[in-house]
Amino acid sequence: MNEKNTENTIHGAMNGEDHGKHMTPRVKNVFKKANAVSLTPEEKHQGAQHLRNFMGANSAAGTKNNKTKQSSPYFSPLSAFLASVSLSLDKKVFVPVVAVLILILATGTTYAASEALPGDVLYPLKININEKVETFLAVRPEARAKIAAQHAATRLVEAEKLAERGKLDAETKASLEAEFSRQAKDAEDQTEELRAEGNTEAADSVSLEFEGSLNRHHNAIEILAGKTEASSTERQSLVNLKKAVQVKIDTYSKRRMEIENEDAATSNNSKDKKRVNETVRVLPRVSAGEIEISAKHDDENKGRPEGDAAATGSVIKLDAKTGDTEKAGIEGASSDTISGSVVVKKVLGI
């Protein structure tokens, strides 16, 4: 129901229904404005989420037909196991055994949840428990900023994985994009707070890393969107997502330029100059972020079910596809390094 649509209808009506005399520009303008009344994207997203929960609680499944199936591989074996245990044990033994089981399962489930994708049963757990706990545990401002940035990047990883499997629909994309924007904004705020506290070095390091990671995802999404087997709607979703990432990249690079200019203009002090120089030298940090993220992927892959490992593997491969052999080389070397920036310094001989 966009403007163009209204315009067309109005013209059509003018010709066909002979209301032309009364359809003055002013009247048209009122219609156009009225048509712009809508839910905000957040409201819509919330509504969809709410509806999803409602549908989950009042599911059409569970009736005689088996049209709807659980999409998660985690859920069914688990409940089947529990059911078999409850059948084979009498009540006295059952209670403590179940208590222990629940404890084990809870730990296992949270772990499994960390790999869940939108649409999986465990995904809400990942968003509402795992990530909230991580945020809660991050006390220092630097850690908070890092965690927020990491969560934002995770949303993009999820979108990429889904797109790889051809499962990224418009709805999921919209909610992931909204979450990504929100968390990226959070990271931005935390970084600014860090800067306000005078901890500029930490702020610079976090924002540069995040900017690099965003650049990497931007490329990855571009490649996914260019894949021939992607459907047109999926491609459109990816293009939109890419735009959202671009917006953040622009924010970060603009802010970085400001800071660099500020520093360059105001400081006569050699220590500050040194900092600026360093920042400028390490600027090809696009690769820094890439390395770190890739290294993370590697680490994650070690303890992961095979299916997911394959999926992440392909995300990493995307970098290699860009033809940047140097980058690929660095990646190989960096798997065991904690900080990407350390590696860059090593590689660049800083």
Partner 1 sequence: MGELEQKFLEAYNANADALFRFCFFKLSDRELARDFVQETFMKAWSNISKEVIDKDGCSEGYKEIENIRAFLYRIAGNLVIDEYRRRGIRKPTESLEDLHEQGFDPSEDETDSWVDKIDGQEAVKLIAKVPEPYGEAVFMRYVQSLTLEEIAELTGESENTISVRVHRGLIRLRKLFNHEHDEHNKHRLEGEGDTKMKTI
Site residues for partner 1 per CB under 8 A: 1, 5-6, 9-10, 13, 17-19, 22-27, 29-31, 33-39, 43-44, 47-48, 50-52, 54-55, 58-61, 63-65, 67-69, 71, 119, 169-171, 174
CB of 49 to partner 1, least distance (A): 10
Cβ closest to partner 1, residue 33 vs residue 254: 33
Cβ closest to partner 1, residue 26 vs residue 271: 26
Residue 64 sits at φ, ψ, to 5 deg, of -65, -35
Exposure of 18 in the CB half-sphere (CA atoms within 13 A): 0
Cβ closest to partner 1, residue 59 vs residue 261: 59
CB of 305 to partner 1, least distance (A): 21
CB of 54 to partner 1, least distance (A): 5
Quick check: 104 and 110 in contact, CB under 8 A? no
DSSP state of 169: -
Cβ closest to partner 1, residue 9 vs residue 107: 9
Q: How far apart are alpha carbons 7 and 329 in whole angstroms? A: 56
CB of 7 to partner 1, least distance (A): 10
CB of 119 to partner 1, least distance (A): 6
Cβ closest to partner 1, residue 64 vs residue 91: 64
CB of 127 to partner 1, least distance (A): 16
Task: Name the H helices within the chain.
Answer: 3-16, 25-35, 41-57, 75-88, 91-113, 123-125, 131-137, 141-164, 170-196, 200-226, 232-266, 270-281, 286-302, 306-321, 325-334, 340-348
From residue 327, alpha-carbon distances to 160, 290, 308, 321 in Å are 20, 9, 23, 11
Question: 200-226 and 141-164 are packed helices; what angle lies between their axes, rounded to 10 degrees?
Answer: 0
Radius of gyration of the chain from its Cα atoms, rounded to whole angstroms: 25
Cβ closest to partner 1, residue 240 vs residue 335: 240
Cβ closest to partner 1, residue 30 vs residue 133: 30
CB of 2 to partner 1, least distance (A): 9
Cβ closest to partner 1, residue 65 vs residue 232: 65
3-class secondary structure, 116: coil
The pair of structure tokens assigned to 271 is 């220590």
Q: Say which amino acid occupies 126.
A: K
Largest CA distance in the chain: 85
CB of 1 to partner 1, least distance (A): 6
User: With b meaning 16 or more CB within 10 Å and e meaning fewer, what string describes 102-127?
Assistant: eeeeeeebeebbbbbbbebbbbbbbb
From residue 92, alpha-carbon distances to 79, 86, 88, 99 in Å are 21, 11, 12, 12
CB of 77 to partner 1, least distance (A): 20
Q: Which residues contact 162 (CB under 8 A, 6 or more apart)?
A: 117, 118, 119, 168, 172
Cβ closest to partner 1, residue 1 vs residue 139: 1
